[in-house]
Structure 1
């Protein structure tokens, strides 16, 4: 089967989003229910063998969870390039970045406000603002100067994401820029993206999940898909964080 045939029968945008949602759910369930709940509870009762077993499950789920962010970044860039209204797209991301911060802090820290880490919607929101600026520079600046100014914007945005302690911080911003700049060369973008994230994550256990993510991205067929539940994919992020937090409190106090 040729590459064109594979892509024609590959994954549409909504299928990729669903995969990312399931991956993200596995990741956050591992953190809240296993790392913060079941495993410590088993250790306290002296069931170290069971705790060790669930610790292995924890790392498997965390590896599965590495699939989510590259897919979301890829789809962010695709959405930016195809949307009819970039301002509205950015506003949606910004609104859900604000709505998701309390659920995110509850999940990670057990309290409604904590500045040690910010949710991934903030990273994506900064990314869409960055893409807007570098795209404008590319279209309105002389060719010789445009790349330098674009790199300056990328560096400034990455520094801001690092300062704000956003999820994936500067690494996430640079991955967004990589997918945007190499959009005409998806194979190269996936290979470099995998190498970049594998080096940044630095945990070998994460490599299978990262590799799977970029393989799935490479199967994208360029279509949106029949399911039009746009708001589902926005709402699922804060809602699942709250549900996992509530479940952990119910089960483990």
Structure 2
């Protein structure tokens, strides 16, 4: 499978996943959500491949950042226009996670280059790139204490941090593993699978818990797609994901709010 085919599969399964998220009260089956567990890893995988192959990495990172910022703003505005009676807002923003993955890839690369070449500028730049997102998390928390939820959301939107992004530090770490072990796909898949299945360790291994309470471990099945990847880009539809991702989420949110208000 090429990158385009992986993205199309991701888009289809993502749509089912978000149908469950926004319409589960209407009876959408939970297995839609099970299928959706493989989506974020697939997009993380295609994002690191895109970063590796792009001719302009700064432009690639900027595109993810702008998308993250715009969606953070949309996540604030849309619920202000129409709200759900149950108080649910829009929590989705995978762009910020993908952006931070590329930030930490770049930070590690700069640190490695600076160390071996003795270039202190690269070392400093790498350190700054690695520290700023973490510092942003503490600044956002302080902002919440001083200015409330609006200050927290504004700071997190402008400076995404690993503590509040979708998937958190675990998904960022997974993205780094995907990138730096991309030349050893078997090892990468083995480590990824171990991380996925380790989510089963805490708590009792009951059917109720494994399939209906804590089923994030199901993301292990995305490893199949990693192994099927042929290293090719495939058809180029650069902005399909950037447009479809926020578009379908806001559509589902607004539609669910309208149906609940009737």
Q: Same fold (TM over 0.5)?
A: yes
What is the distance in 2 between the residues matched to 1:76 and 1:186?
A: 16
Cα deviation 1:187-225 (Å, max 9, x = unaligned): 111121122133247763336842321101110001011
Q: Residue in 2 aligned with 1:3? A: none
2:245 is the alignment partner of 1:246 = no
Using a 3 Å threshold, how does the CA distance of structure 1 residues 12 and 66 change in structure 2: closer, same or farther?
same
| 8 A Cα contact 2:111 2:127, kept in partner | no
Counterparts of 2:41 and 2:95 in 1: how far apart (Å)?
13
What do the CA deviations read for 1:93-150 (whole angstroms, capped 9, x no partner)?
011111222454658x948xx999562211111111111121122223139xxxxx98
Contact 2:198 2:217 in 1 (8 A): no
Please state how far the C-alpha of 1:21 moved relative to its aligned partner: 1.1
In the alignment, is residue 29 of structure 1 matched against residue 19 of structure 2? yes
Q: Cα RMSD (Å) of the superposition?
A: 3.3
What residue ranges of structure 2 are gaps of 5+ in the alignment? 118-123, 138-160, 203-208
2:91 is the counterpart of 1:83? no
Match of 1:119 in 2: 93
Q: For the residues of structure 2 that align with 1:103 and 1:131, how far apart are their CA atoms?
A: 27
Going from structure 1 to structure 2, the CA distance change for 1:151 and 1:94 (only over 3 Å counts) comes to closer
Is residue 178 from structure 1 mapped to residue 177 from structure 2 by the alignment? yes
**Cα distance between partner residues in 2 of 1:116 and 1:213:** 25
Q: Does the aligned pair in 2 maintain the 1:80–1:128 contact within 8 Å?
A: yes
Could you tell me how far apart the structure 2 residues matched to 1:73 and 1:154 are? 19
Assess if the C-alpha contact under 8 Å between 2:3 and 2:46 holds in 1. Answer: yes
* Structure 2 counterparts to residues 215-226 of structure 1, below 5 A: 215-226=224-235
Preserved contact between residue 48 and residue 175 of structure 2 (Cα < 8 Å): yes
Q: 1:154 to 1:91 in 2, by over 3 A?
A: closer
CA gap 1:118/1:186 in 2 versus in 1, 3 angstroms: same
Deviation at 1:183? 1.4
8 Å Cα contact 1:30-1:62 kept in structure 2: yes
1:138 aligns with 2:137: no
Please tell me whether residue 94 in structure 1 is matched to residue 42 in structure 2. no
Q: Which residue of structure 2 aligns with residue 190 of structure 1?
A: 189
**Contact 1:117/1:166 (8 A) holds in 2:** no
Q: Could you say what secondary structure the match of 2:230 adopts?
A: coil
Change (3 A) 1:32 1:235: same
Count the aligned residue pairs.
216
User: Are the aligned partners of 1:90 and 1:128 in contact in 2 as well (CA < 8 Å)?
Assistant: yes
Pick from 10, 13, 22 the counterpart of residue 20 of structure 1: 10
Is there any run of 5+ residues in structure 1 with no aligned partner, and where? 1-10, 40-53, 144-148
